[in-house]
């Protein structure tokens, strides 16, 4: 990669980060909403830990993985809506007249989502600790958790870019949010898969990649170092990120041809 | 203004909202699908919760969650009418409505009627899916009438709340203000397990949350053992009356601003 590309990424990334940090409407809901749900679910479902075979006696530890996934879902909105706004206002057309490379644009655009992802991860960890959650994998586990969380944010942010480039509409990107939430709800977010009693739901959760992302994060909190869960978590997050970036790159080419 | 005039304005507003809702998939699909997903996620994904020691609801966990999803869809169906009001203000359509309607309270009634129709459509689909999923109903027809009657009042109350907010803010940016209080009221209640099985702060909050009374009465209806019916209807009607004044105040603000 040439230094020119790095310079271009730096400029786009700086704009993306500043833009994200200047929009409390992007930051506040992505921090408050997951923590609110954590507080409600952790209290409401604490009794679930009494079910034989439940892996921990602290539901807040078990549920702490969920805010990380919800935070990643918000990255779809944030990255996608920002790019859609650039398309709607004609800024992307003006960028197309410059020598800016597509790769620099896409990577740079995700910088804002990634910075917000780091802020989210730190907040969720601190709130989790304050609420009494434990980290079975210790301090190194916290670092791995943040790394996995960043990779997931990158992957979902890329999906937001694809949606923005394909539709060119912020409203359409916002419309994706409920759909992605369905993936979260139909996963092993509230119970381990082996304890889900309803057959069809267990099958859906097993085929749902979000289950493995949550289980990867959760393994560091509840189990310690679980190689299989981590490999699946990192593998699926990396696959989503690669596929997302490839699709975003193709969509960018189509979008620029149209303009 | 004659009663017929009031009715024609209310029906006109309601018809427009219902038409927009039915013929626009972006409005129709989420309001029909979301309650189903919540029902699937809660009743399906959490059915093991019924094995928690001291959990006692013989009608089954599907019925236990069905009541919550009915009340939730009632509340959010009402909140969506606030979105419609806000959108109509943003596009300038609401101001034209207000110019033509001699009694503008009929506009609020029209939006509420549309919200009610939406909720009835959602409940029809929900009950079909629940029965296919094997939900047991131990209550009789009168009990079910009580459950849906309660949900109907919740729908009207939520509709009046969100309309009041929308008429004050007159922008879709007021959406979170319409939704978040309703969301908190709904979820800070015994959603997953009965009240006695909650502990800590959520038990303290749920004990004074009016939604708890609604859920307990609703679950009593579906299990054929109605309990706390007067308290639940009192709470629902009380909230609806308070929000009727809130919506009327919003209308006055909107009139003053236009």
What is the spatial distance between Cα B208 and Cα B114, in angstroms, rounded to a whole number?
A: 31
Over residues B117-136, the pLDDT tens digits come to 999 999 999 999 999 988 99
Instruction: Mark yes or no for CB contact B30/A195 under 8 Å.
Output: no
Mean of the per-residue pLDDT values for chain A?
87
Contact status, residue B85 vs residue B17, Cβ threshold 8 Å: no
Stronger pLDDT, B241 or B134, i.e. the higher one: B241
A3 lies within 8 A of chain B by CB? no
Stronger pLDDT, B204 or A29, i.e. the higher one: B204
Tokens (6 digits) for A103:
């790769």
Tokens (6 digits) for A35:
């923590």
Question: Tell me, what's the pLDDT at A155?
Answer: 93
Give which of B42, B49, B209 to mutate to test A binding, by max A Cβ within 10 Å: B49
> What percentage of residues in chain B have a pLDDT greater than 90?
54
pTM of the model: 0.82
What is the spatial distance between Cα A188 and Cα A34, in angstroms, rounded to a whole number?
A: 16
What is the spatial distance between Cα A199 and Cα B107, in angstroms, rounded to a whole number?
A: 47
B44 lies within 8 A of chain A by CB? yes
Banded pLDDT at B86 (limits 50, 70, 90): confident
Return the closest-CA partner of residue A224 out of A42, A72, A38, A56: A56
Inform me whether the pLDDT recorded for A259 exceeds 60: no
Mean of the per-residue pLDDT values for chain B?
89
Banded pLDDT at B1 (limits 50, 70, 90): low
Over residues B25-53, the pLDDT tens digits come to 767 777 788 888 888 888 888 888 888 88
Question: Tell me, what's the pLDDT at B172?
Answer: 72
Return the closest-CA partner of residue B136 out of B207, B50, B17: B50
φ, ψ dihedrals at A125, nearest 5°: -65, -45
Instruction: Mark yes or no for CB contact B200/A200 under 8 Å.
Output: no
Instruction: List chain A domain ranges.
Output: 3-255
Question: Tell me, what's the pLDDT at A84?
Answer: 86
Question: Tell me, what's the pLDDT at A168?
Answer: 83
Q: Of chain A residues 206-235, which have a CB less than 8 A from chain B?
A: none
Non-local CB neighbours of B86 within 8 Å, separated by 6+ positions: B166, B169, B170, B171, B172, B174, B175
Banded pLDDT at A258 (limits 50, 70, 90): low
**Is A99 exposed, middle or buried, given 0-12, 13-18 or 19+ CB atoms closer than 10 A?**
exposed
């Amino acid at each position: 990669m040439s230094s020119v590309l790095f310079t271009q990424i730096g400029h786009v990334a700086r704009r993306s980060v500043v833009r994200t940090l200047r929009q409390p409407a992007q930051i506040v809901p992505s921090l408050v909403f997951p923590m609110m749900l954590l507080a409600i679910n952790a209290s409401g479902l604490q009794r679930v830990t009494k079910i034989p075979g439940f892996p921990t006696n602290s539901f807040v530890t078990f549920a702490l993985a969920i805010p990380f996934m919800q935070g990643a879902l918000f990255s779809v909105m944030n990255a996608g809506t920002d790019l859609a706004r650039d398309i709607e206002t004609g800024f992307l057309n003006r960028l197309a007249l410059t020598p800016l490379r597509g790769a620099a644009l896409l990577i740079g655009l995700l910088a804002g989502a990634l910075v917000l992802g780091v802020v989210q991860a730190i907040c969720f960890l601190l709130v989790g600790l304050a609420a009494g959650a434990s980290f079975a994998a210790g301090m190194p586990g916290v670092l791995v958790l943040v790394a996995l969380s960043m990779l997931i944010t990158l992957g979902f942010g890329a999906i937001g870019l694809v949606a923005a480039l394909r539709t060119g509409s912020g409203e359409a990107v916002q419309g994706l949010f409920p759909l992605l939430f369905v993936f979260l709800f139909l996963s092993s977010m509230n119970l381990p898969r082996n304890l889900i009693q309803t057959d069809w739901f267990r099958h859906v959760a097993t085929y749902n990649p979000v289950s493995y992302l949550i289980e990867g994060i959760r393994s560091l909190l509840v189990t310690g170092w679980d190689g299989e869960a981590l490999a699946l978590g990192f593998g699926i997050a990396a696959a989503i990120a690669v596929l997302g970036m490839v699709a975003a790159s193709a969509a960018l080419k189509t979008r620029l041809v149209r303009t | 203004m004659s009663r017929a005039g009031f009715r024609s304005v209310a029906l006109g507003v309601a018809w427009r909202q219902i038409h927009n809702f039915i013929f626009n998939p972006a409005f129709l699909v989420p309001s029909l699908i979301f309650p189903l997903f919540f029902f699937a996620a809660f009743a399906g994904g959490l059915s093991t919760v019924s094995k928690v020691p001291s959990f006692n609801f013989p009608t089954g966990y599907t019925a236990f969650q069905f009541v919550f999803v009915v009340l939730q869809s009632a509340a959010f169906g009402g909140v969506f009418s606030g979105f419609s009001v806000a959108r109509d203000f943003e596009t300038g359509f609401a101001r034209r409505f207000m110019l033509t309607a001699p009694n503008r309270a009929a506009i609020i009634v029209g939006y509420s009627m549309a919200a009610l129709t939406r909720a009835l459509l959602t409940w029809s689909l929900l009950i079909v899916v629940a029965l296919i999923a094997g939900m047991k109903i131990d209550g009789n027809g009168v009990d079910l009438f009580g459950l849906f009657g309660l949900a109907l009042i919740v729908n009207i109350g939520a509709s009046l709340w969100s309309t009041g907010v929308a008429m004050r803010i007159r922008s879709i940016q007021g959406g979170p203000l319409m939704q978040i209080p309703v969301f908190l009221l709904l979820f800070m209640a015994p959603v997953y397990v009965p009240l006695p099985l909650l502990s800590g702060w959520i038990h303290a909050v749920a004990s004074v949350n009016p939604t708890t009374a609604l859920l307990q009465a609703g679950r009593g209806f579906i299990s054929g053992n109605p309990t706390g019916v007067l308290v639940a209807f009192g709470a629902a009607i009380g909230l609806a009356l308070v929000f009727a004044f809130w919506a009327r105040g919003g209308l006055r603000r909107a009139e003053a601003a236009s």
